[in-house]
């Protein structure tokens, strides 16, 4: 669905009128286009650690215009603040304030990225305080940025270098247009697994991916994005959506499987179809989901059970089949679609919130099981995304939901798809058990 307000106020007279009236001023976001530069403008790498030096050298190898010191009034495409060696909260002031002095030079749709370490990796209270402090400063900074700029963080395990494969993968994702609607979020890199793709625009080349709920909306966008990135795609949806499913499958040159994923044999049928048609199975995206909203006082068993059955119980059964299969052992990826409703809750969605929070719990618990054969499992949690469902919301509620985030607009299905494609790639091999919110830094709730 088109957000006409954003189009009107993103430039010219509309922008001037919105500014004078004190109205929200969203801008058109820089989204990923194959072949486009990773980032436009110089990248300032701030930090005095060896890790900062190593990261700057690697970014130079990517062909980026890297600065170690800001030049006066030079427009910056991105600022990377490397804080991997901080030991005390007092260590934060100098590098953070230096970045603050450069923020006015950050270009529209620019990026700010912190690289730090996990508080849990130290026994020192002072060091833990400094590392946790980065969480608060980054999320606060994200709410201060304007003109489509975003701020996100990469959190490294204690023994990982700033140039470990998935640290670089996360930095690249946050720099790129793939992360246009990801703001105020962190990705934790917990292992040295993963590798950068040989061809940047085809990170999923040679992979076979299954996407459930692929006939419409976010699911169709996921299928198209995975195909664009080089994967062969199996599209799954219920028989009633067969015509739409076939249409999307034809667009991506994939295969369609009409299947109710709540069936007890759904996992086995998915595996058999992928192996029979494509010879292997590398990626499973659990996107299928339903809503049956009611206040809890008016909730009946049918509405409650149907949401739980599709949104979480089906995923659990399919994952059991995947983990037991010999066809899903070559560094496979599972990515589930959760929701900010499962994090912050939402009125009238106790069943949906429970199911999506359940997805988050499942992902965290399954991660160690995947690690034994080099696999990962992660989730994305969308906020307000422009879909057929949100288009049916009352106008006033829809407009409020669009503006209640740091980017002052709704996301697009492709924003969710881009995050999933990254987490499904080899460059995210050291990231598992994570929940990445794709919500423009939604300001309501947790």
The reply to whether 352 belongs to the active site is: yes
**Strand, coil or helix: what is 443?**
coil
Active-site residue (options: 5, 32, 181, 352): 352
Output the CA–CA distances (angstroms, integers) from residue 429 to 11, 83, 147, in the order listed: 40, 23, 32
Residue 135 buriedness (CB in 10 A; 0-12 / 13-18 / 19+) = middle
Q: Taking every pair of C-alpha atoms in the chain, what is the biggest distance, in angstroms? A: 64
Pull the structure tokens for residue 392. Answer: 């049916």
Euclidean distance between CA atoms 75 and 40, whole angstroms: 10
Torsion of the alpha carbons at 104, 105, 108 and 109, rounded to the nearest 10: -100
Half-sphere exposure in the Cβ direction for 409 (13 Å, CA): 25
CB-CB contact of 281 with 275 (8 Å): yes
How many Å apart are CA 393 and CA 55, to the nearest integer?
45
DSSP characters for 188-231?
EE-SS-----SSTT-TTTT-EEEEES-SSHHHHHHHHHHHHTT-
| Residue 390, Ramachandran bin (φ over 0: left; ψ between -120 and 50: alpha; else beta) | alpha
Other beta carbons within 10 Å of 65: 14
CA distance 282 to 290: 25
| Centroid of chain to Cα 43 | 22
CA gap 107, 231 in Å, rounded? 34
Place of tokens 């001023």: 25
| Coarse DSSP helix, strand, coil percentages of the chain, rounded to the nearest 5 percent | 45, 15, 40
Beta-strand pair 208-212/283-286: parallel
Sheet holding 376-382, edge to edge: 255-258, 232-237, 208-212, 283-286, 333-337, 376-382, 435-438
Judged by DSSP in three states, 79 sits in strand
Distance CA 259, CA 317 (A): 14
The catalytic site residues sit at: 352
């Amino acid at each position: 669905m088109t957000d006409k307000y954003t189009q009107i106020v993103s430039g010219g007279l509309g922008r001037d009128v919105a500014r004078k009236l004190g109205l929200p001023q969203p801008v058109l976001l820089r989204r990923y286009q194959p072949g486009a530069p990773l980032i436009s403008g110089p990248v300032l790498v701030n930090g005095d650690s060896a890790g900062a030096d190593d990261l700057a050298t690697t970014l130079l190898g990517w062909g980026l215009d890297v600065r170690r010191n800001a030049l006066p009034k030079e427009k910056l495409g991105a600022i990377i603040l490397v804080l991997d060696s901080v030991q005390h909260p007092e260590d934060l002031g100098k590098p953070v304030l230096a970045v603050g002095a450069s923020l006015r030079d950050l270009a529209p749709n620019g990026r700010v990225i912190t690289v730090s370490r996990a508080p849990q990796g130290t026994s020192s209270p002072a060091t833990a305080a400094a590392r946790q402090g980065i969480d608060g400063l980054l999320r606060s900074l994200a709410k201060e940025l304007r003109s489509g700029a975003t701020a996100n963080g990469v959190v490294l395990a204690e023994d990982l270098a700033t140039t470990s494969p998935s640290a670089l993968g996360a930095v690249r994702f946050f720099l790129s247009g793939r992360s246009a609607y990801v703001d105020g979020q962190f990705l934790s890199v917990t292992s040295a697994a993963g590798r950068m793709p040989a061809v940047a625009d085809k990170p999923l080349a040679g992979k076979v991916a299954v996407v459930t709920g692929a006939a419409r909306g976010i699911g169709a966008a996921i299928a198209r994005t995975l195909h664009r990135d080089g994967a062969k795609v199996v599209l799954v949806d219920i028989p009633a959506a067969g015509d739409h499913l076939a249409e999307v499958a034809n667009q991506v040159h994939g295969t369609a499987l009409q299947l109710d994923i709540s069936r007890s044999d759904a996992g086995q049928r998915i595996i058999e179809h992928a192996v029979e048609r494509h010879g292997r199975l590398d990626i499973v995206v659990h996107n299928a989901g339903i809503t049956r909203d009611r206040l809890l006082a008016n909730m009946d068993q049918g509405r409650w059970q149907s949401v739980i059955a599709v949104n979480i119980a089906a995923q659990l059964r399919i994952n059991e089949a995947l983990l037991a299969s010999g066809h899903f052992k070559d560094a496979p990826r599972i990515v589930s679609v959760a929701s900010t409703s499962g994090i912050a809750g939402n009125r009238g969605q106790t069943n949906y919130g429970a199911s999506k929070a359940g997805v988050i719990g499942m992902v965290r618990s399954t991660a160690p099981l995947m690690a034994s054969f080099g696999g990962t499992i992660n989730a994305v949690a969308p906020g307000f995304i422009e879909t057929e469902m949100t288009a049916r919301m009352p106008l006033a509620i829809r407009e409020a939901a669009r503006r209640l985030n740091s980017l002052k607009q709704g996301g697009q299905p492709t924003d969710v798809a881009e995050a999933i494609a990254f987490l499904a790639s080899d460059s995210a091999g050291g990231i598992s058990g994570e929940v990445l919110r794709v919500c423009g830094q939604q300001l309501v709730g947790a």
